[in-house]
Each structure stands twice: as structure tokens, then as C-alpha cells.
Structure 1
Amino acid sequence: MLDLVIDARPASLSPGFGVRRILPFRLRRMLGPFIFMDHAGPVNLPPEQLPTLDVLPHPHIGLSTVSYLFGGQVTHRDSLGVEQIIRPGEVNWMTAGSGIAHSERFEDPTALAGGALEMIQTWVALPESDEESVPAFTNYQPHELPIFTDNGVWMRLIAGDAFGLKNGVKTHSPLFYLHVVLQPGARFGLPQGHRERGAYIARGSVEVSGQTYSAGQLLVFKPGIDPVIVAREASTLMLLGGEPLGERFIWWNFVSSRRDRIEQAKADWQAGRIALPPTDNAEFVPLPQDRSRPASSPAPEPLS
């Protein structure tokens, strides 16, 4: 029933900002079009240490970043001139396409109150026909995202289609992405009609086929099966997957179907040809000094 279980590994977005990295994994580079997944927080720091969490301006190509918060807030600024405070329950979808730079700043001290800052960020690889698309950023408010409730089950559709739910979040390939909260004993399944499907346990623990799995694990299911997920306690899941896009190369924050395109992105960032956010251009993350070829696993640590 399960194809693979991926345990989150420690990684860092900035000198003071540790995360749990789920994708990419050496045995599983992608899940549908999802090529990257980080779980940050809950973060509990004194307010004076807030700047240590900031992720300075950095570039992306060939992907969409999807930021989703459970708690706290973060300020997004990008080279399109967008400045957006990201809050819990919203979907913030940034399509890098041919190239974009953005920063993530933690500027409100209340964002850390009670260890409330917690977020999931994923990258969705773009189909080859959209890899050089015009960069874009869209914020979707919670009221635009359908919610379904049943006995012991609450879920919000973040993007794509699942269980008959759809929303207006613009995607570039068939996928699904859901935030699911289960009460103890609740039973849940996976959406059908998608070739690759997984469930990341953000909180709590669940049982599948008599085996218990806990927070920080991504369960990757075999195609064509219809599993029953049973909550052993109050649990939060992120369900994700879709249709595979084919091989993608990833180096730092660059994703492409072509090795040479990543080499070009390196040169573009080094030469300043990818613009910085106009309201956050005093500092940036330099190109890592790494001579490795782009591969199916990241060379230097990716940033969000």
C-alpha cells in the first residue's frame, strides 16, 4: 500500500531559521509536480531575534512557490514590486517562470507570540511549456478556498482538485494540495484520479494498514490503491500529489528540464540580470560557491 516513507531532515533557510525538509529526497525527487517541501516551526524566539529568521532576496526559475501558514505571519517582497503580508489560511502562489527574486521577512514581533510561527512551503515544477512564462504572484484569501467538514474531519483545498472540490488558484498542471485536520479516531482517504499521492503528517499520528506513522513523515502511496487513514490522535495532514512532469534538474533555487538553463540562471544571478525587489534591494543572497553540475538533488541548500 505504501511505496515509501520519507522522514523529514533538518535544513536551514537562514542562519537562525531551521526547518524540516521533506522533498526532494534521494529516493524520491518529486511527488506529482511537487519538487520541494519544507516545514518551518513552530518557532519560539524572543522578539529581538526576529531578524535572524529573515530570508534575504534570492532568485528562482522554472517553478511556483506555494507558501501556507498555520500561524504567525511573514512579509513577502519580490522583483515584480509585490509586497504582501502572508497570514494563516491564505494561499500565496508565486510563479517564477523565466526568473524572479523575492525575500521573506519576519517583521512583526507578535508573529512569534507563543511559538505561533509555523509554515509549509512547497515548490511546484512547471511544465516545459511554462518554464519560461512571465513571473507572477497571487494572494488567495481563505474565503476563496473551499472547506469541507464531516465527522471528525476538516479540510481546506489549497490548490487543484480533490473530492469534488475546486477553487480559483491558478495551477499549470494536474495536481491536488489539501490541509486536513482529523480528530482522534477519524477516518480519511486519498483523492482519486491522480497518479501520484502522498500525505505529510504535520502534527499528531495516524494509522495505515495497522502501522502507525507520526509527525514529520511523508507517506507516499502506491498508484491505484484506496487507503484508509485513521487518526490515532488529533492530527494535521497535508495531502499532495498529481501527475508527474518528467525529469527535472535542481540546483540551489533553480529548477528546469534542461541542465544548460540552470547554468544560465547561475550566470544571470551572478551578473545581476535577475532584478531584486525594488523595496528590498539593499542586500541579497550571493550565488553559492559550488561547482557541482545541476542534478536531481540540490547542491547548496535551497531557500524558500
Structure 2
Amino acid sequence: MIEMTIAGRAKDLGGFEVRRVIPVAKKRQVGPFVFFDHIGPADFAPGEGIDVRPHPHIGLATVTYLFDGEMDHRDTLGVEQTIQPGAVNWMTAGKGIVHSERTGPETRAAGHRLHGIQTWVALPSEQEEADPSFFHHKAEELPVIERDGIWMRLILGSAYGEVSPVKTFSPIFYLHMESKAGSVFKLTDEHEERAVYIVSGELEIDGLLFGAGQMVVLDNEASIGIRTVQDARVMICGGAHLPGERFMEWNFVSSRKDRIEKAKTDWQSSADAGFENSVFALPPGESEHIPLPES
């Protein structure tokens, strides 16, 4: 039933920890998911917070989902959106977008806990150069699925007869699950590729125990039953495998290596031009940016 297990790799970003799960050398994607980061949990004292300066993306959609805290998003479309627990921010980069993520002034002043998941979804090759867009959906807009001892929120796509309102570009599913010890459920089998990431707690899958910080990638053909050993918080994701290879460098994803090279050049030349009359621009109200790593 189990194709492989991936242990998230912790990285200290200065005041908080991010655990990167995919990509890894032997698993570049699960369905269209090409990047999966577990943020925190991190406790910020009053006056502290995160400041992810403006940076570019192409060829993907970013998905932000929080368990605790909040984050302010700004982008070059002029969108300013605070995301809170249970809601979803879906940003389609397409041919190119720049955004920042910061702790808002009131939250920063009060102190807070930040905990959540950020993922990147690769776009089908025919959509990689789509116009950028941004959609926010409140928690109450997303379908909830309940079984004995099981609660699930459908963030993206379709599963268990429900469909998320978030507009996506290929077959996909993404679930937040809370399960009580002793509960058993059958994993949806309507999608080609599937993986289970354990945020907290412990699960039994195919007779083996798995704990926090592990992603279990499951066989495409198997009918999977999962038992909760200790109360657990779990993210379940997957979907159809996109045809062709996807290349990823820094914040760029594309089916073409030359397109990534162009994006790198465009970011550097935009910065050199002070983001005036250039390919990339800064979000309104922003004056900083993250330099291209090579520079």
C-alpha cells in the first residue's frame, strides 16, 4: 500500500521553523503538488512577526492554509488579503506575479502563534502562461465532511462526494482532517496519486505506525484504511499526475528550463530598473524585494 515515507526537513528561518516535505530527490510531486511546507507552530512575542519581502512566481498556484494565527498577503494585482485559520488563499502566478506575506500591525503588536501549511500546485502546460489571479475563500465556504470520530474540510478539488469552490486547473484534492483516537476511515480512491501528511498525532497505515512530520505516499491502486492511534491532525493531498516533467528553481516552476532562466533574468532586470517599466513590479505599498539568490 505504501510507496514511500518522507520525513520533513526542518529549517530555521530566524524566529520560526519550517519543515519542508516535498520536493525530495525521489519524489518531486504528488499529483500536481510540487512543494509542501509545514510552518511552525511558532510563538511570536509582542512586536515580532514574519516579513516575507516581495518575491516573484511563475507557472504555479500557491495555496496558504492556517491552523493558528494570521498573515497579510499583498500582490501586484493590488490584492490585500488577511488569511485566518480555516480559510484558503489561492494565488495563480501564471505568467508572473509578485507578492509579500507579513504579520499585520495589530497581530504583531499583540503577539501570536503561527501554524499552517503552504503548498505549490503546478499548472498544466497550457495554463502556465495564464494571467495571474487571486482568490480568497472563507472557512465557512469550504465543504465539511464528518464520519464517526472524523472531521474533514475540503480545501481543494473533489472528495467524498463534495466539491470545493476554489477554482483549480487539473484533477486535485486537498483535505484538512481532525481524527479521534480509535477512529477508522477509508481514504478516497477517486484520485490517481495520494499522500497523507501527519501534522500531529499518530496513524496506523497498512499495519505500520507513523507520527508527526511524516508524509506517507500511497500506492495508486490500493484501497487504504487508516486508523488513528492518537488524536491526529492530518493533511491529505493528491490528484492527477501532470504530463511531462516540471522544473523548479527558487520560486519558479515550469515545464521548460528556458522559461525559468527567462524569469530569473526578468527578476534581476526588474530590480535593476527599480521595478519601473519592467516585467515584474512590486505590490502597492511595498518598497523591498528578495534578490535573486545568485546575486
Both structures adopt the same fold (TM-score exceeding 0.5): yes
Matched, 1:220 2:222: no
Task: Judge conservation of contact 1:81–1:279 (CA < 8 Å) in 2.
Answer: no
SS in 1 for 2:230: coil
Task: Tell me the amino acid that sits aligned with residue 293 of structure 2.
Answer: P
Residue in 1 that maps onto 2:137:
140
* CA deviations over 1:200-240 (Å, ceiling 9, x no partner): 00111101122110000000001110111111111011010
Alpha-carbon distance in structure 2 between the residues aligned to 1:81 and 1:216: 35
Shift of residue 45 of structure 1? 2.6
Which of 50, 54, 57 is the matching residue for 2:54? Answer: 57
Higher strand proportion, which one? 2
Task: Judge conservation of contact 1:43–1:112 (CA < 8 Å) in 2.
Answer: no
Which of 154, 161, 164 is the matching residue for 1:164? Answer: 161
Residue in 1 that maps onto 2:232:
235
The percent of aligned pairs where both chains have the same amino acid is 50
Runs of 4+ in 1 over 3 A off after TM superposition: 14-17, 108-115
Residue in 2 that maps onto 1:7:
7
SS in 2 for 1:48: coil
Alpha-carbon distance in structure 2 between the residues aligned to 1:202 and 1:34: 17
SS in 1 for 2:265: helix
Task: Judge conservation of contact 2:2–2:206 (CA < 8 Å) in 1.
Answer: no
Task: Judge conservation of contact 2:141–2:165 (CA < 8 Å) in 1.
Answer: yes
Matched, 1:276 2:278: no
Shift of residue 249 of structure 1? 0.3
Aligned 1:109-188 pairs, distance under 5 A: 110=107, 116-188=113-185
Shift of residue 284 of structure 1? 0.6
Residue in 2 that maps onto 1:258:
256
Deviates more, 1:115-124 or 1:258-267: 115-124
Alpha-carbon distance in structure 1 between the residues aligned to 2:109 and 2:219: 39
Alpha-carbon distance in structure 2 between the residues aligned to 1:90 and 1:219: 25
Q: Structure 1 residues 255 and 211 mapped into 2: Cα distance closer, same or farther (>3 Å)? A: same
Q: Structure 1 residues 110 and 236 mapped into 2: Cα distance closer, same or farther (>3 Å)? A: same
SS in 1 for 2:44: coil
Residues matched between the structures, number = 286
Which of 177, 180, 193 is the matching residue for 1:196? Answer: 193
Residue in 1 that maps onto 2:275:
none
Alpha-carbon distance in structure 2 between the residues aligned to 1:113 and 1:240: 34
Task: Tell me the amino acid that sits aligned with residue 251 of structure 2.
Answer: N
Alpha-carbon distance in structure 2 between the residues aligned to 1:115 and 1:85: 15
Residue in 1 that maps onto 2:63:
66
**Structure 1 stretches of 5 or more lacking a match?**
291-304
Alpha-carbon distance in structure 1 between the residues aligned to 2:109 and 2:151: 26
Alpha-carbon distance in structure 2 between the residues aligned to 1:154 and 1:55: 32
RMSD of aligned alpha carbons: 1.6
TM-score under structure 1 length normalisation = 0.91
Shift of residue 48 of structure 1? 2.6
Alpha-carbon distance in structure 2 between the residues aligned to 1:285 and 1:17: 19
**Structure 2 stretches of 5 or more lacking a match?**
271-278
Deviates more, 1:257-266 or 1:138-147: 138-147
